Amino acid sequence: MAIGSGGEEQRHRHACAACKHQGKKCDENCLLAQYFPAEKAEEFNAVYKTFGVKNLTKMLKSVPNDHRKQAADTLIWEAMAWKEDPLQGPRGLYNRVIAELNILQQYHSARSVGLCGEHDLGVQEIKYQLSTGETSRSKEYQQADTGHRGWVAPPPGWVKINVDSSAPFGDYIGGGICRNSLGKCLFGFTVHQCQGSDELGAQFQAIIKGLIEAWTRCHRKIIIEINSLEVVHSITNGVRPQDHFIHLSKIKELLGRDWCCRVERVGNEANLCANWLATMFAHESPGDSFFEVPPISIASILEKDLAGVRGL
């Protein structure tokens, strides 16, 4: 089928990417020349591998002439998506966008409902925000409105560190896990306390450990979640249990750095991973521990928490 335009110019140009690839002479009748000029060799190669020349030609011919450019661009887009993600192709991209949308919608609805906050229907959160370089504290009570009591992923660009403590062997152990907006585990740890330590101390130490690690890894938007109201109060209100002066001073120093940190209280169901680290994982791995790839024994809890990424 003749393209029928720009004939004089086309006669003198180089073979298009398609003809070059097939070792054919490219003339003015070449259907693919205007969509795959010589400089689009990479795009053609991807389309060729995904669809084959025969299908490509057939698909382009099946749409009206003035829509072919759009069809060719779409095929290129799809083929490049397959090239980037051989497992899921365009669906992988689609899934990532949907996951991001769900997270944004969750946060949007939590925010718009949360500020009326008189009824105690959901998880009460105490937020502590320290914005860049400022010392002013803002406390805001928010309630969850979705009925979802499990873990919720942080917004894109943020990381969330869940922290908990327990005393499976008598001495207290703090545990924490840091995840991003896609629910991916970035790191996790346990901190074993010295003899005679208490629950608060283990939680403070876990918060310190998590914040230091996040800072070192250049994360600058952090949400700390913990289910102890006492810990959140001590940090947000500056209440200093006598025994923990050093811990709280360290946390204050960390929160005052040039980043954005929030400390929030969550229910147990939203804190399962951290709880598991401070209890069960302590059996698996005695002594302080640190990991980037989560241990297999936590996989089912991590998977459960992913409901908070998929928006249920």
Q: How far is CA 3 from CA 22, 28, 246, in A?
A: 19, 7, 78
Among 7, 14, 22, 26, binds Zn ion (CB under 5 A): 26
Residue 143's alpha-carbon distances to 81, 125, 129, 287, in angstroms, are 40, 7, 17, 37
Please report the beta strands in the chain, taking only residues with DSSP state E, as ranges in sequence order.
124-130, 138-143, 159-166, 173-179, 185-192, 221-226, 260-265, 289-291
One residue of 7, 8, 16, 150 binding Zn ion per CB under 5 A: 16
Q: Whose Cβ is closer to Zn ion: residue 15's or residue 200's?
A: 15
Question: What are the strands, taking DSSP E only, across 144-269?
Answer: 159-166, 173-179, 185-192, 221-226, 260-265
301 belongs to the binding site for Zn ion (CB under 5 A): no
Min dist CB 83 to Zn ion, Å, is 22
Q: Classify each residue of 179-206 as buried b or exposed e, where b means 16 or more C-beta atoms within 10 Å of its C-beta.
A: bbbebebbbbbbbbbeeebbbbbbbbbb
Q: Which stretch binds Zn ion (CB under 5 A): 24-32, 137-145, 152-160, 280-288?
A: 24-32
State the minimum distance, in angstroms, from the CB of residue 2 to Zn ion. 13
- By beta-carbon proximity to Zn ion, the closer residue of 53 and 307 is 53
Residue 33 CB, nearest approach to Zn ion (Å): 4
Residues in the chain: 312
- The answer to the question of residue 17 lying near Zn ion (CB under 5 A) is no
b (16+ CB within 10 A) / e for 301-310: bbeebbebbe
Considering beta carbons, is residue 12 or 119 the nearer one to Zn ion?
12
Query: How many residues make contact with Zn ion (CB under 5 A)?
Result: 5
Listed ranges 19-27, 145-153, 288-296, 302-310: which one lies at the site for Zn ion (CB under 5 A): 19-27
At closest approach, how far in Å is the CB of 24 from Zn ion? Answer: 7
Phi, psi of 20 (to 5 degrees): -60, -45
**Is residue 21 within 8 Å of residue 33, measured between CB atoms?**
no
Q: Check residue 251 for interaction with Zn ion (CB under 5 A).
A: no
Q: Smallest distance, Å, CB 25 to Zn ion?
A: 8
How do 289-291 and 124-130 pair as beta strands? unpaired
Q: Residue 102 corresponds to which amino acid?
A: N
Q: Least distance in Å: CB of 9 to Zn ion?
A: 14
Written as one letter, the residue type at 263 is V
Stretch that binds Zn ion, among 9-17, 99-107, 117-125, 300-308 (CB under 5 A): 9-17
Task: Report the residue from 11, 30, 216, 287 that binds Zn ion according to the rule CB under 5 A.
Answer: 30
Closest approach, Cβ 1 to Zn ion, in A, equals: 13
Contacting residues toward Zn ion, per CB under 5 A? 16, 19, 26, 30, 33
